[in-house]
Structure 1
Amino acid sequence: MRSIMIMLDTLNRRALSAYGGEGVITPNIDRLAEQSVVFDQHWSGSLPCMPARRDMMTGRAAFLEKGWGGIEPFDQTLPAALREAGVFSHIVTDHYHYFATGGENYCQSFSTWDFHRGQEDDPWLSSVADLPKRAEYYGQVREQCDKNRTQFIREEDYPGPRTIQAACDWLERNGREDRYFLTVEAFDPHEPFDTPDHYLEMYQDSYEGPAYSWPKYGTVDVPPDALAHIQKRYAATLTMIDVWLGKLFDTMERLDILDDTMIIFTTDHGLLLGEHEQTGKNVMHVYNELANIPLMIRLPEGQGAGTRIKALTQNIDLMPTILDYMGVEIPETVQGASLRLLIEGTQEHIREAALYGYHGMCVNVTDGRYTYMRAPVSPDNYPCYTYTAMPTTFRSYLGRIAPEQIEAGRFLPYTSYPVFKIPESTKGLKYARNQFVMETRLYDLSNDQAQEHPLHDEAAEARMIELLINGMRQAGAPEEQYVRLGLA
């Protein structure tokens, strides 16, 4: 038995025909969907990039205790569990956050790993001289990113295509071996949306305004033609990576390994491209475009192809599912559940609700019909702490707010390993990250799938609060989280 997990970063399910999307050209993802079990109510857990990956690799949602950061020394990971059972694991990726401060110990837990440079502002191309300044542009422009782009001459030079080609090469050497786990991870279609012009031409893009390939995070601040252009750039980047996924699928078919291989296809989160009058992620409410993500599982020999699963599932379920199919014991620390019984039709649901969010922001819950976004009760977001033995975060270090208040102890109920308790907010001082999410919201998805009309229904809110509290208890939420959200 072999397992291959394919993950694209920032993949909006609404771009895929399997989820009712129209206008985006993805024939190879469509081809996989036709051969797969497709999950309609699959949700993220911790957001964004690295928190989502920790969820997937540990089977636990960690956003209530920690945000962006490395794998902890006490984490029991998927590759480690496989290795103990004699299963070889390999990851091929161009996701450069793994190799920046705050991305420690993810790839290193695999048997081997392969990293392809150049995405976003990966410190790759070394040039002391500055590039000429752009005269006009919208959104974000970063000099290191522009330096990296000078190396993208042919389509084969772009990091996404290089990554997929490296996965094909790995399969050529190893594909027919037994009992391995391969992760193929492309940063595309994550912003900035870099792709050769011929993919943009497929979308009849006639934009002639200032350069715009990397939207800012927040309220839309560009004219309509620029917004349409960035939407087409996203679609074109997705189409490019779809073409290369076709080469990967062709390789699997030619090697004749599909009869004994499980393929998982998913993402970490989505992205806003004008919906809710916002672009990006991280700073706004976790709308469905961000949290309700695609999941397709192609079973050996295409078993169950065409089946749609309506039960609530989350990314924490991927680790136990892979271990279950690979015949490996699931660690006790895992909070997710194997999807195998859902797939086989012997179980109707594995959870009553799905909990998701960013550390220190709203805590969100859905039961499949309603989504509830519980906001902090105070602009200072107090009290809020990070619990970690690895005090790194996104390209920086934790603990700069009030280092004299940092404590160390055995604060986490599921491990005896001591961790730091680091304050994330200061009483009386406004918490800048929460400027867009200080309003609690309830949406009825059966009547308002686009989440445009907040609902005022005391009975429905009371039920969602109960689900929220139960989910937080099951996740082992620190006690101050209930105080921060006005749930104490």
Structure 2
Amino acid sequence: MMKAIVLLLDSVNRHYLSAYGATGVATPNLDRLAEKSAVFTNHWSGSLPCMPARRDMLTGRLGFLERNWGPIEPFDHTLPQVLRDNGVFSHIATDHYHYFRVGGENYCQQFNTWDFIRGQELDCLVSRVNQPEKPEQIGKFMPQYALNRTMFHAEEDYSSPKTIRSALNWLEDNRESDNYLLWVEAFDPHEPFDLPESELEAYGDDYNGPPYYWPEYGRVNVPDDAIKHIRKRYAALLTMTDRWVGKLLDAMDRQGMWEDTLLIFTSDHGYMLGEHNFMAKNVMPAYNEICHIPLMVHMPGGMHAGKRIDALTQNIDVFPTLLEHFGVDASHCRNKLHGKSWLPLIRGEVSAIRDCALYGYFGKNVNVTDGEYTYFRASSRGNNSPIHLYTAMPTTIGHYYGLEHIVDPSRIEMGPFLKWTDFPVYKIPGDNVQMKDQTQSFHINGSFIQENLLFHNIDDYGQNHPIHDEEIERRMIKLLHKALEDHDSPDDQYLRLGLR
């Protein structure tokens, strides 16, 4: 029997999990899963943020070198497609509303079936002509979410608990079935950190300032007591989400699924809660708080439970790991995979599957770690040129690349510009694009630190003290150059980064 579950929780801070040595945040069910799993200690994001990370997972390739936030491309041969072609059914239960807005096309539709739970963030669930006015509060206020949250009363009404409930129902309906992948994806603990106020009691929250549940992206701009409050809100939301993860684990207990099911738990990225004087993500360097993420893999029958694996891994490895689990040869995928299966690592057959992890946001610093050192490589030119985005689907977060967001359409070229596919794509110059969401912008701006930074990842895990060592930097540059080649980077990136 072959079954697999991918449990993806958005914005899980590894440094908040007791499975990774944290204290003070209750996650008993993720602890319970860790006891049944191989726990990976050197696991990294790839493309950032949300939708780029998901394209990585569903294609087994790093995408951030080629384009920004966007849909599944017509030349992508996705994990659900390959599984379907080889007789494996796939279903996704999710409240991640980005899948269903402009710029998130064709992700869920690759699965055999899907269930979308409504109401997160700016999902247009509650429809009112007259929009609510901003009350007295600090942080972001979004009228659409103010309407959505009127639907949330008890814990069970919130979207992520309903997502887990949807997955539980699917498991019950298919308890006699085999040969399937269930992808369970909850938006929480992504912001807004909204939950019943009673959930904060366990964290001794005594905040009495203006309501604050949705941080703004950028430098910290709220008082210290608000920072303490928002950290407690995040912790409480993580605990509430963990409680619903427990219900999924309970269902595996009832159905005896631990014996025949592979379960992968990870996140897309972390979240800054005042570290380095930043909030959120996107607009600061790709610090460890954002890019060093959790990974637990339960093997059928509990083989290698409790094993700690220090080898470098990334989320692009989800694809080939699942292919191996289902006995599907990687040659069935039409696209070259960048990822490597974790199963040989878990079984102890190999000690490493890569010599570095490459990660970042499109058009910003490109980052590489060998586990000991981390190197942030910035643009070598003040105007961040040359940078082009390559796509056959000209949409991005919340908008099309139409006349409103392209300065000069005559500068767009089309042709087989990517090294790994002959499919024609648009080649859009970066300085020809105007992004609607500036937190996603790849133009240099005052809030993003554009400089090369080198850190010792062990002695200075918090990345507070950049080091200056020309020999080590040369070695990391060489590693970065090889990683760009291995990941089919467009030539633009070498020039932009001053590497060629």
TM superposition score normalised by structure 1: 0.98
**How far is 1:220 from its partner?**
0.7
The answer for the alignment partner of 1:381 in structure 2 is 384
Comparing 416-425 and 178-187, the one that deviates more: 416-425
Q: How does 1:152-167 map to 2 (within 5 A)?
A: 152-167=152-167
Residue type of the alignment partner of 1:315: N
Q: How does 1:66-145 map to 2 (within 5 A)?
A: 66-135=67-136, 137-145=137-145
**How far is 1:174 from its partner?**
0.6
**How far is 1:415 from its partner?**
1.2
The answer for the alignment partner of 2:372 in structure 1 is 369
Give deviations 1:289-338, integer Å, cap 9, x for gaps. Answer: 11110000001111101101110001111100011011112125111111
The answer for the alignment partner of 2:286 in structure 1 is 286
The answer for the alignment partner of 1:431 in structure 2 is 443
Maintained 8 Å contact 1:266/1:293: yes
Maintained 8 Å contact 1:380/1:426: no
**How far is 1:117 from its partner?**
0.5
Maintained 8 Å contact 1:116/1:162: yes
The answer for the alignment partner of 2:262 in structure 1 is 262
CA distance in 2, matches of 1:402, 1:29: 50
Q: How does 1:409-428 map to 2 (within 5 A)?
A: 409-425=415-431
Q: How does 1:197-346 map to 2 (within 5 A)?
A: 197-330=197-330, 331=333, 333-346=336-349
CA distance in 2, matches of 1:201, 1:435: 35
Maintained 8 Å contact 1:16/1:26: yes
Aligned-partner SS, 1:416: coil
Residue type of the alignment partner of 1:281: K
CA distance in 1, matches of 2:68, 2:462: 27
RMSD over aligned Cα atoms: 1.3
Give deviations 1:274-296, integer Å, cap 9, x for gaps. Answer: 11111110010000011110000
CA distance in 2, matches of 1:131, 1:244: 31
Q: Percent identity?
A: 55
CA distance in 1, matches of 2:430, 2:353: 33
**How far is 1:148 from its partner?**
0.2
Aligned-partner SS, 1:150: helix
Residue type of the alignment partner of 1:345: G
CA distance in 2, matches of 1:176, 1:77: 27
CA distance in 1, matches of 2:292, 2:450: 22
Maintained 8 Å contact 1:160/1:186: yes
Aligned-partner SS, 2:477: helix
CA distance in 2, matches of 1:433, 1:102: 23
Maintained 8 Å contact 2:195/2:237: yes
Q: How does 1:421-460 map to 2 (within 5 A)?
A: 421-425=427-431, 431-433=443-445, 435-460=447-472
Residue type of the alignment partner of 1:156: E
Give deviations 1:73-101, integer Å, cap 9, x for gaps. Answer: 11011000100001000000000000000
**How far is 1:435 from its partner?**
3.9
The answer for the alignment partner of 1:350 in structure 2 is 353
Unaligned 5+ runs, structure 2:
434-441
The answer for the alignment partner of 2:484 in structure 1 is 472
CA distance in 2, matches of 1:63, 1:437: 18
Maintained 8 Å contact 1:402/1:423: no
Aligned length: 485
Residue 487, structure 1, aligned to residue 499, structure 2: yes
Aligned-partner SS, 1:252: helix
Maintained 8 Å contact 2:406/2:432: no
Give deviations 1:83-139, integer Å, cap 9, x for gaps. Answer: 00010000000000000000000000000000000001111100112224312x221
Aligned-partner SS, 1:282: coil
TM superposition score normalised by structure 2: 0.95
Question: Runs ≥4 in structure 1, deviation > 3 angstroms?
Answer: 432-435
Aligned-partner SS, 2:431: coil
**How far is 1:350 from its partner?**
0.6
Maintained 8 Å contact 1:379/1:431: no
CA distance in 1, matches of 2:472, 2:175: 51
Aligned-partner SS, 1:97: helix
**How far is 1:426 from its partner?**
5.8
CA distance in 2, matches of 1:304, 1:151: 43
